[in-house]
Structure 1
Amino acid sequence: MLTASSMLKPFALATLLLAGTLPATAQNAPTKVKIKTKTKGAAATPTTPDLSQTYAALIEPAGLRAHLTVVASDAFQGREAGQPGQKLAAKYLVKQFAEIGLQGPVTGSDNPYLQHFQLARSIYAPGGYLKVGGQRYDYLSDWFSYGPMPSPFLTETASQPVFAGFGVEQGAYSDYVGLDVKGRDVVVIMGEPQDERGRKLLKPLGRKADYWDSGLRKAALAKAHGARSIFLMTFAPADAFRKQTAQLGESLREPAFSLPDPGPEIVDTVAENIPPGIGVYYTSQDMGLALAGTTMNGLIDYVRALSRAGRPVPAGFQAPTAAIFLPQTQQPLTTENVLGFLEGSDKKDEVLVVSAHYDHLGVKHDTIYNGADDDGSGTVGVLALAKAFAQAKKDGHGPRRSILFVLMTAEEEGLFGSEYYTAHPVLPLASTIADLNIDMVGRTDRKHSAKKHFVCIVGSDKLSSELHSINEAANRDYTHLELDYHFNVPGEPEHIYYRSDHYNFARRKIPVIFYTTGEHADYHRATDDVEKIEFDKLAERAQLVFHTAWALANREQRIVVDSNKP
């Protein structure tokens, strides 16, 4: 699963830096989490064999263990995207798909099971700075960036920043009215505009009361207006900002990845990840004020005037010219998704996608991160599902709809494998009925007792009520697991819905279910090893995915898209 540190630390840091510095606002009322526990009941005796039960039973702990012992071995060196271990893993997975009897659906590739694409790997070099008003602000001291983005400032670059208030736009309220920011660098205040009584001026969007507290949503909006970069001004004085930056330490120096060919742009109104093609930088209060061309008193006067007016007002100050230098070394990498195709019968032109990501974190400081649960568990689960469906077809009981099994790469770097696939699909997205995505299903998280047989369900009701009902029926009739929806509630703080490959299908309006068991003590640690996997529970969870996939692939009507929950 995509780490929260690579996607969400900007939120956490911004929240930390803003704490106690802005007027208090009402907190969201707590959401009651509903966990559905399915009781085991006897199904009606069928007059003919229950084929879903028959072939789900082929998914066994021993087979899962045999594959995972290979996939999560030291020989694959942590399967980091673009590295030799990932190539070895891809070769192994291709061999399994071919032996199962799946077709390779990729045209124009040297291997029809492999969808190759390019990544750019960028590492920040020492010496970055920003000069404004005769003052130098050093990178990783007074400002920092997060996420997979090439630097737009590889040489010292002249800038004429534009101050855009809080950097928000909703309905008639827009901080960008009258501003030309195309190709320029935008400076905005973290947080949201408030009235004189400290209440937010903008109504919550959907169910997200804190929608514009997100610096990354502000970045996505700035990008939509054509900005080159955005500087997000926190309210942390220089010393406090430097202390917090130091605590983040090496994570700010890790390589950043980007997708040079992301495909057609998708307008994403609930984006939680860093938008490509724009620099996103967090600044100390001191540097932010200097970039905006004002003082703290001047900024307070601006915010008070805005609060009284209830709408954007002229700032009364002018951002001065600046010079920015942010060097990087950039390396192109080739990586690949692994795809296996099982053709359907009378409804073969409609496609169900079953996915997991097979990459992990690679080798760090001479230590191999094997990623047995993340996401070796999902990877071998997909192999088991593919084998069961392929056997059903060999026995004359193949699915009516086609099924595409996709093992994604570069999920850990930013969901890039699924981003590339959904932008360059080998089968039309218009014909894709759903994505069932499996990521981390081999362990018990901190929330549950080791005796619990459970799985967390995420996203099942966000686009299709039928998909949600089908999954619940499959569990009720067959697997009898506790279905835990605590990651699926509005305002869920871990943002799990946005952190695995299903999301790139969902943002293209394809219904999804994300199956996971959440984080545990070994999440993104070198100790995520095979011996800690609970293979009996992994088999049960994979069987639930199988039963849901069986129903989706064989029902008479394609599931409806009848919802749009944020």
Structure 2
Amino acid sequence: MKTLVFCGLLALATCSASAQQAPTKVKIKTKAAPAAQATPVPAAPEWARTYAATIRPEELRQHLTVVASDAFQGREAGQPGQKLAAEYLVKQFAALGLQGPVTGGDNPYLQHFPLVRGATAPGGYVQVNGRRYEWLNDFFSYGPLPSPFLTPTVAQPVFVGFGVEQGAYSDYAGLDVQGKDVVALMGAPQDERGRALLRPLGRKADYWDSGLRKAALAKAHGARTIFLVTFASAAAFRKEGQQFASALSEPAFSLPDPGPAIIDTVSESIPPGIGVYLTSQELGFALAGATRADLMGYVRGLGQARGPVPAAFQPPTATFYLPQTQQQLTTENVLGFLEGSDKKDEVLVISAHYDHLGVKHDTIYNGADDDGSGTVAVLQLAKAFVQAKKDGHGPRRSILFITMTAEEEGLFGSEYYTAHPVVPLAQTIADLNIDMVGRTDRKHGLKKHFVCVVGSDKLSSELHTINEAANRDYTHLELDYHFNIPNEPEHIYYRSDHYNFARRKIPVIFYTTGEHADYHKATDDVEKIEFDKLAERAQLVFYTAWELANREQRIVVDSNKP
């Protein structure tokens, strides 16, 4: 799962072995028949048990032994090991008889897309009114971001007040920020006495204190970068910059073609496609073209008007320079399509990411659980549904199996797919996403048969009910919802590929077993996977998918619990 990084930046900005359970026997009442009559076929609901039973620990092990082998070199996006893994997955989908749904490319199973890998070089600065402000001393980014300023670039920033939009209140009203660099004050709109001008959004009284939400809003309005003005002292800001110097020098990935911007001010992750920078008080004031007195006057005007007002000051032109070494890469999502019967135009997505961290300091990070476990579960789910169709038992709706790439770099595979879907998103009924389901986390004992369920109730009450019923009737796992509570501190809901479906209002379930001692370490190997439990969890996904694909009505979208 994508790791949340740079938690300290937020502070500054605001001052996944027991035996497999045997299927439960169900008595089916039938009328007496002559001895010569053939044995009755199972009732329709029992076909699910038949095909779920094809998801076996030994086959999961066979696939994972390949996918998480040293030969695939950690499957880092854009690197040779990832290409080998993609080739393996294509062969598996093709052998099953799934269709390749991608048109216009060299391989109908591969959705290619570009990535840029950049590393910050020394010498970055912003120059305003003849004064030069230095990288790390006066400004730095939210995480290692790709630079839009590879050469000295003269631009006219746009001041957007607090950079928020809620109801009738919009700091962007009347402003053209397309392709421009915006300057926003940290914090929420308030009057000169510090009284909030906006009501708390939901349960989050500090909603707009998040610079990342402001960045997502700026991106939705087309901005190239956002500079967030902090009010820390120069010394405190410089200390913070030096603290993150090492991390900020790490290579960063970007998605050059993220597709149409959508307003997403819920996620607590860095939005792709926009530069996000924190500035010292001095640089922030200079970029805004304002003094402290000017800004106090602006805040006073907000309080009097109880809404946005034009600023009495004008940002000057500035020169931005943030050099990087950049490498153009191509990576691939792997897609397999199973056409449904009478409801084939509606599509269920079953997903997992197959990329991992690659090779670091000559050590291979095999990612057996993260997310080799989810990847091989998708292969077995595909096999089960293909067999059901061959036997004449559905599914009614089509199913799209996607193994995503570049999840570890920023959920980029799902970001790209949802912006460039092979089936219109309006026809996509749900995404069942599987990420790290082969281990036992720190919270549960080894004898526990459990899975963590995330997001099932956030957009569709029916989806939540269907998953619970599937578990009650078939798998009997402990369903753990501790990652699903409001304001969950690890932000798990936002950290895997389902989220890019959810933010486009497509119901999701994220199946995981959480972090363990080998999470994102070179020790995440096949030998530590609990394949019996992996099979059980994959079977729960199957039963839920079976109902979604075969029920009469598609599930409703009737909730919104970000």
TM-score, length basis structure 2: 0.89
1:17 aligns with 2:12: yes
C-alpha distance in structure 2 between counterparts of 1:447 and 1:479, whole Å = 21
Are positions 1:87 and 2:83 aligned together? yes
Q: 1:543 to 1:188 in 2, by over 3 A?
A: same
Q: Percent identity?
A: 79
User: CA 1:229/1:264 → structure 2, altered by over 3 Å: closer, same or farther?
Assistant: closer
Equivalent position amino acid for 2:356 in 1: H
Change (3 A) 1:548 1:224: closer
Structure 1 partner of 2:52: 56
In the alignment, which residue of structure 2 is the partner of 1:45? 27
Correspondence 1:322 to 2:318: yes
Give the Cα separation in 2 of the matches to 1:41 and 1:345. Answer: 27
Within 2, Cα distance between the matches of 1:185 and 1:230? 6
Shift in CA distance, 103/14, structure 1 to aligned 2, threshold 3 Å: same
CA 1:561–1:46 in structure 2 vs 1: closer, same or farther (change >3 Å)? farther
Q: Secondary structure at the match of 1:492?
A: coil
The structural deviation recorded for 1:237 is 2.2
Q: Is the 8 A contact 1:149 1:276 kept in 2?
A: no
Unaligned stretches of 5+ in structure 1? 22-39
Higher mean Cα deviation, 190-199 or 501-510? 190-199
Q: Deviations over 1:520-543 (max 9, x none)?
A: 232222222222222222111111
Asked whether the equivalents of residues 168 and 175 of structure 1 are also in contact (C-alpha less than 8 Å), the reply is: yes
Question: In structure 1, what is the Cα distance between the partners aligned to 2:75 and 2:160?
Answer: 42
Give the RMSD, CA atoms, in angstroms: 2.6
Structure 1 stretches of at least 4 aligned residues deviating more than 6 Å after TM superposition: 40-43
Residue 402 of structure 2 is matched in structure 1 by: 406
Report the equivalent of 1:3.
3
Q: In the alignment, is residue 96 of structure 1 matched against residue 78 of structure 2?
A: no
User: Shift of the alpha carbon at 1:515?
Assistant: 0.7
Taking the TM superposition and a 5 Å limit, the aligned residue runs for 1:351-366 are 351-366=347-362
For the residue of structure 1 that corresponds to 2:433, the secondary structure is strand
* Partner amino acid, structure 2, of 1:45: K
**Corresponding residue for 1:381?**
377
Q: CA deviation at 1:555?
A: 1.4
CA distance in 1, matches of 2:386, 2:143: 40
**For structure 1, which segment, 473-482 or 520-529, has the greater mean C-alpha deviation from structure 2 after superposition?**
520-529
Q: 1:260 to 1:184 in 2, by over 3 A?
A: closer
Q: Aligned partner of 1:465: which letter?
A: S
Equivalence for 1:539: 535
When the two structures are aligned, how many residues end up with a matched partner? 542
Q: How does 1:232-381 map to 2 (within 5 A)?
A: 232-296=228-292, 299=295, 302-303=298-299, 306-307=302-303, 310-313=306-309, 317-381=313-377
Tell me the distance in 2 between the aligned counterparts of 1:565 and 1:153. 38
CA contact (8 A) 2:363 2:522 kept: yes
Choose the corresponding residue for 1:159, options 155, 169, 176.
155
Deviations 1:169-192 (A, max 9, x none): 222333345655444322222121
Confirm whether residue 482 of structure 1 aligns to residue 478 of structure 2.
yes
Find the partner of 1:558 among 551, 554, 562. Answer: 554
1:119–1:335: 8 Å Cα contact kept in structure 2? yes
- Find out whether 1:470 has 2:452 as its counterpart: no
Paired residues of 2:222 and 2:261 also in contact (CA < 8 A): no
Alignment check: 8 A CA contact 2:256 2:273 kept: no
Deviations 1:237-284 (A, max 9, x none): 233223323333432122222222323333335344434443211122
Query: Gaps spanning 5+ residues in structure 2: where?
Result: 16-21, 30-41
| Aligned 1:170-189 pairs, distance under 5 A | 170-177=166-173, 179-189=175-185
C-alpha change, 1:480 and 1:311, in structure 2 (3 Å) is same
Q: Secondary structure at the match of 2:352?
A: strand
Post-superposition offset of 1:433: 1.6
CA distances 1:453-506 after superposition (whole Å, capped 9, x unpaired): 221111111222111111000011111111122222222222222221112222
One-letter amino acid of the structure 1 residue matched with residue 323 of structure 2: P
TM-score, length of structure 1 as denominator length:
0.88
